[in-house]
Amino acid sequence: MAENTIYVVLQHRDGKLHRMSREAIAAAQMLAGTIGGSVEAVLLGSNVGDLADQAAGFDLAAVHVADLPVLESYTPGAYVNVLAPVIREASPAFVVFPHTYQSVDLVARLAQEIDAAYVPEVVSFEASGDDLLWRRPVLGGKLQARVRVKGEGTVFLSVQSGAFRADDAAVAPESGGVAITPLAGTDVSSDRELLGVEQVGGDQVDLSKADVVVAVGRGIGKEENLPIVEELAAALGADIGASRPVIDNGWLPRDRQIGSSGQTVAPKLYVAVGISGAIQHLVGMKGAQCVVSINKDPSAPIFTVSKYGIVGDLHEVVPALTEAIQAARG
Ligand SMILES: Cc1cc2nc3c(=O)[nH]c(=O)nc-3n(C[C@H](O)[C@H](O)[C@H](O)COP(=O)(O)OP(=O)(O)OC[C@H]3O[C@@H](n4cnc5c(N)ncnc54)[C@H](O)[C@@H]3O)c2cc1C
């Protein structure tokens, strides 16, 4: 067992490393800092030379690359074929994955294949004596569990979106490049054929990539009041999101919903307007770096996750804020 080695398995789309891959690198580096270890990345795909270079831009001990036509699209069989022998042989202490749909499909079966422990949806960890304790949400985020893994062997972790900050992923020092090593790709076959991928809803909004989100809740009162929030979003260059009642009332389309049954976002700035902060909403936005809330109820739970809270009537506060931002931006 390579006691101090941490692997991080990267995911990518459209020739770019997924934001959550950078969050996974940040988590792995933080873990390495805690246990005194080093981080090595694993990248799978076809024609992924550029992606390997992007990965090598981070402070990693190595980037291992499986570059094979069969890995053009994700299929669980081919990924298990590649990853299982590599992890079995290297026997790292931990393997970190971003917690994505792909990981939900892959990681449990990979863990079973090599008899590893698996802690999904990790949001933080702490050292306790010789142990590491992992914190993860349960019951749809209503509770958080602390988990200790018993026994020996490699431990798999998947880290929840927004729990670790992509910006915290340390980049490689200028001197000394990161070694990119090819992985042997023998016996890699796919267990299924991907027939195609279709965009659902055509021009659906992907709020997960937004840097700034202005989210509107039931406190807006009625659809006719939305323009004041849209003006604030325009002044900030933000995307608009919403809590579920706004969607259920048909005031905004479903792809704007943030929360447990909507999208998960992790913007740098999240402005919550007339949102109470129900747990189902919080699980979708608590990865935001800075939350600013406007609510007339000083005891609204949204204030507990906010860096800045404005207690007041949104009909007065929002236009004043928009005007101040417009003035500041000239
Ligand atoms: C299975 C399930 C899944 C769910 N999934 C989601 C989800 O994905 N996303 C989600 O958001 N919810 C979800 N919900 C609903 C969730 O429980 C809450 O009901 C919802 O988040 C509340 O939305 P809200 O904060 O906009 O409304 P409310 O809770 O009604 O809050 C409105 C807020 O606006 C404030 N307000 C009112 N007027 C003004 C004013 N003039 N100025 C300033 N403030 C004002 C009030 O003080 C209040 O805090 C789900 C629920 C269930 C059961």
Q: Which residues neighbour 330 within 8 Å (Cβ) at sequence distance 6 or greater?
A: none
Residue nearest to atom 3 of ligand 1 (CA): 261
Cα of 309 to ligand 1 centre, how many Å?
Answer: 17
Task: List residues bridging with 181 in a β-sheet.
Answer: 64
Bridge-based pairing state of the strands 155-159 and 308-311:
unpaired
Cα of 257 to ligand 1 centre, how many Å?
Answer: 11
> In 3D, which of 92, 81, 96, 70 has the Cα closest to residue 9?
96
Answer whether 281 contacts ligand 1 (Cβ < 6 A).
Answer: yes
Q: Domain-by-domain residue ranges, the chain?
A: 2-182, 207-329
Quote the pLDDT of residue 14.
86
Give the span between the Cα atoms of 9 and 41, in whole angstroms: 6
Give the span between the Cα atoms of 293 and 297, in whole angstroms: 11
Q: Token digits for 140?
A: 């749809």
Give the span between the Cα atoms of 81 and 130, in whole angstroms: 33
Answer whether 296 contacts ligand 1 (Cβ < 6 A).
Answer: yes
Biggest distance spanned by C-alpha atoms of the chain: 65
Collapsing DSSP to helix, strand or coil, 31 comes out as: helix
Answer whether 314 contacts ligand 1 (Cβ < 6 A).
Answer: yes
CATH number for the domain running over 207-329: 3.40.50.1220
Answer whether 39 contacts ligand 1 (Cβ < 6 A).
Answer: no
Cα of 246 to ligand 1 centre, how many Å?
Answer: 8
Collapsing DSSP to helix, strand or coil, 192 comes out as: coil
Give the span between the Cα atoms of 28 and 92, in whole angstroms: 12
Say what the pTM is. Answer: 0.75
Class of domain 2-182: alpha beta
Cα of 183 to ligand 1 centre, how many Å?
Answer: 49
Helices (H) and strands (E) in the chain, counts: 8, 17
Q: Residue 313 corresponds to which amino acid?
A: D
Residue nearest to atom 50 of ligand 1 (CA): 280
Quote the pLDDT of residue 299.
97
Q: Token digits for 266?
A: 């992790």
Nearest ligand 1 atom to alpha carbon 315: 41
pLDDT of the chain, 330 residues: tens digit per residue: 566 899 999 999 889 998 899 999 999 999 999 999 999 999 999 999 999 999 999 999 999 999 999 999 999 999 999 999 999 999 999 999 999 989 999 999 999 999 999 999 999 999 998 899 999 988 877 788 999 999 889 999 999 888 898 889 999 887 667 888 888 766 788 888 889 888 766 567 889 889 999 999 999 999 999 999 999 999 999 999 999 999 999 999 999 999 988 998 989 999 999 999 999 999 899 889 999 999 999 999 999 999 999 999 999 999 999 999 999 988
Answer whether 53 contacts ligand 1 (Cβ < 6 A).
Answer: no
Quote the pLDDT of residue 1.
54
Give the span between the Cα atoms of 307 and 290, in whole angstroms: 6
Contact 15, 50 (CB under 8 A): yes
